[in-house]
């Protein structure tokens, strides 16, 4: 992770250090195309505590389905499509997340600049800080959709 490391997520850094990291990331996000899908996602969707639900890699598109949201916002099936997507770190961690259901995303971040960007996230056992790995997905195109989920419960595989 470039910004939100495990140390940041677990509170190992000072408030000042955390504030600096968050400010740097906000500056990075503000530099993105404000009409683009990555900017929209980064400014409107929180993956904190999202469950990893499905993974599909076919025809040059990597798709990741997550169960996102909370009691205040409601729960959503969030489908992310990474055109030209390639898992460059954490293939086994992501496969493990699909086997050890549920697995949560602790935090996520984007980095890079078009045309090649990366989406990174830390995985943990739900309700804990137990490390289940780090995932980096590089992509050329990014799109996402959301549909309502009645509750925070993963469907059978």
Contacts of 64 (CB under 8 A, 6+ apart): 52, 54, 55, 79, 80, 82, 137
Does 65 fall in a domain? yes
- The answer, yes or no, to whether residue 111 has pLDDT greater than 90, is yes
Q: Give tens-digit pLDDT for 52-99.
A: 999 999 888 999 999 999 988 899 999 999 999 999 999 999 999 999
Could you tell me if residue 82 is inside a domain?
yes
The answer as to whether 154 is a domain residue is: no
Per the structure, the count of domains in the chain is 1
Domain range for 50: 6-149
* 130 is a domain residue: yes
Tell if the pTM clears 0.75, that is, is over it: yes
d(Cα 135, Cα 137) in Å, to the nearest integer?
A: 7
| Mean residue pLDDT across the chain | 95
Q: Is residue 67 part of a domain?
A: yes
Burial of 31 (C-beta count, 10 Å sphere; 0-12/13-18/19+): exposed
Q: Is residue 51 part of a domain?
A: yes
């Amino acid at each position: 992770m470039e910004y939100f490391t495990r140390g940041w997520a677990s509170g190992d850094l000072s408030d000042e250090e955390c504030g600096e990291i968050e400010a740097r990331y906000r500056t990075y996000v503000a530099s993105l195309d404000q009409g683009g899908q990555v900017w929209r996602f980064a400014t409107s969707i929180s993956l904190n505590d999202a469950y990893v639900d499905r993974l599909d890699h076919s025809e040059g598109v990597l798709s990741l389905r997550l169960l996102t949201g909370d009691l205040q916002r409601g729960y959503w099936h969030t489908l992310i499509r990474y055109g030209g997507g390639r898992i460059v770190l954490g293939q086994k961690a992501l496969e493990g997340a699909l086997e050890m259901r549920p697995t949560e995303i602790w935090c996520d971040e984007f980095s890079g600049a078009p045309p090649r960007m990366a989406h990174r996230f830390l995985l943990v056992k739900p309700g804990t800080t137990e490390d289940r790995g780090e995932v980096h997905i590089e992509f050329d195109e990014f799109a996402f959709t959301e549909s309502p989920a009645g509750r925070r419960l993963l469907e059978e595989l």
